[in-house]
Amino acid sequence: MVETRRVFGSFSVDDIESARRFYQETLNLEVERGGEEGPLFLHGPDGSATLVYLKSDHQAATFTVLNLSVNDIQTAVEELSSKGVEFQRYPGIEANEHGIHTSNGHSIAWFNDPAGNGLSLVQES
């Protein structure tokens, strides 16, 4: 049996400093930097951590790599929009005028980080 201490996700970016600024200044996450070229550790308020590493041949993920759970998605979307974040709309997924999709009591809005990776805000029921 594998004895696991903790589990954490990771994804790559093409510019570690741009990623640091975005995650720390735009998304207001606690960011720990492991060195000049990274990696970065994004720390959630619940103690979770996600590793972000530099990859020279980075290609943006075609799926959501990080979900941010929020209490009020409308306020969060407005705040990030005021900081220049553009929310995505996907064919076949209905969304309101702010790009927020609601289904089964959950609301979600998708956007990208500077490296093109898909992120989302989620308001859980």
Residue 88, domain CATH: 3.10.180.10
In a domain, 118, yes or no: yes
Domain that includes residue 89, residue range: 9-123
Residue 2: inside a domain, yes or no? Answer: no
Q: Is residue 3 domain-resident?
A: no
pLDDT of residue 4: 81
Which residues does residue 100 pair with via DSSP β-bridges, in sequence order? none
Torsion angles phi and psi, residue 83, rounded to 5: -95, 5
| In a domain? residue 67 | yes
Would you say residue 64 lies in a domain?
A: yes
d(CA 28, CA 55): 23
Q: Domain tally for the chain?
A: 1
What's residue 19's pLDDT?
A: 97
Residue 36 included in any domain: yes
Alpha helices (H) in 1-125, listed in sequence order: 16-21, 73-82
Contact 103, 13 (CB under 8 A): no
Q: List the chain pLDDT tens, one digit each, 125 residues.
A: 888 888 889 999 999 999 999 999 999 999 999 988 889 999 999 889 999 999 999 999 989 999 999 999 999 999 999 999 999 999 999 999 999 999 998 999 999 999 999 999 999 98
The Cα–Cα gap between 70 and 65 comes to 16
| pLDDT at residue 36, as a whole number | 81
